Each structure stands twice: as structure tokens, then as C-alpha cells.
Amino acid sequence: MTSAALIETGALEAPARELAPAPTRARESRLRELVDSYVDFVARVLRNSGTPESEIDDEVQRTFIVAARRLDDIRPGAEKSFLFRVAFNQAAHARRTAARRREVAAAEAPEQIDHLGTPEALTDQKRMRELLDRVLDQLDESLRAVFVLHEFEEMTAAEIAEAVGIPRGTVASRLRRARTEFRARVAALGAGGTGEDDR
């Protein structure tokens, strides 16, 4: 999803119109740049935080609607941290909503078809994604946030500390715990267990 697609739907312009009679070109330009630079990041955070696949596009849009409403509050240079916090909260809300409505779990949601892959490769890819989702779902939210940002987004401890709002030492200890739990849960799943007994 691009900034043009989000803005064409009117989703990002509506909040700006509510707050100001005539949004400035600078605001529109900053918002477009924000979407263009971070739309993939936001989608990954949502996906890796357990948002059902069928809800990702909607939650990406909701994340940028919040950003549009609070654009003046986002410090230059802190955009990624701000968007992470919003996306992580949106993911938690999406998971609660899905549980209440008893929607199909993310692992059962239809996957996009990769026309370049063989059926065997697609099956292996789907199994690996399901395994990763199951393991990440079992991690405590505070550990999952640090793990996802470090392992998937390759953020430094300092960047994670700013994004999550915790000291660097806490980032390091949570990352150690998350890695230990991740390995243990993968091993349990590999041994045929559910990985949920020690939760």
C-alpha cells in the first residue's frame, strides 16, 4: 500500500481536515513521506505482532490515520518509534477483536499466492510462517516487541529503547529472555509438543 493509495481513499486527509480547515502543503508532504518510508515497516510490525493476515491492510491504514491526526506531535527523527508504538497497539487491539469475534486464526487465513514458487516451496514457506506465528504468539508481549524489532527490523538496542520506552539494559535482558524462550518453544514444537505447557 502506498501513500497515494492511502490518501486517494481519503483516509489520511479526513483527520487533517477535522483538525485544520486547510492542511498545509508541508503537512501533506510530510505525511506522504511518512507513508512512503514506513508503510512496509508498519505492515511487518503488525504481522509479526500477531495481527490476522486478513486485517493487516486495515490496521496499516488505521496506524497512518493516527499518525495523520498526531502529525504535529511526531518529532523529526522519531517517526519510526512513533509508528512502532501505534502499530504495536493496533496489533494488540486487532488480536483482542479477532478473539472476541472468534474469527479464523491468522494461520488459517488465505495466503497470497506466489506464482514464482513451486507447490513444495509454498507449502514449506507456509509451514515456516505458521511455526513462527505460533512461537511469537506464545511470547509475552513485552518480549515479543523487543525480539521482533531486533531480529526482524534489525534495530539497535538504543533504537528499541526509544521505540518501546524502556532503558537499554531492559532491552538487553528482554532480548536474552526472548531468545531463550524462542529457542525453547521452537525445540518443543520440533519435538511434537505444542510449546504451550510452559507458558
| Confidence grade of residue 101 (pLDDT, cut at 50, 70, 90) | low
Q: What residues contact residue 65 under an 8 Å CB cut-off, 6+ apart?
A: 11, 12, 14, 15
DSSP-derived secondary structure letter, 70 = T
Domains of the chain: 1-110 (1.10.1740), 112-199 (1.10.10.10)
Cβ proximity of 187 and 148 under 8 Å: no
Q: Which has the higher per-residue pLDDT, 96 or 179?
A: 179
pLDDT of residue 116: 54
Residues shown for the chain = 199
> Could you read off the pLDDT of 44-62 as tens digits, one per residue?
999 888 888 888 999 999 9
Q: What is the pLDDT of residues 130-175, one digit of tens each?
A: 777 778 888 888 898 899 889 888 888 998 998 888 999 999 999 9
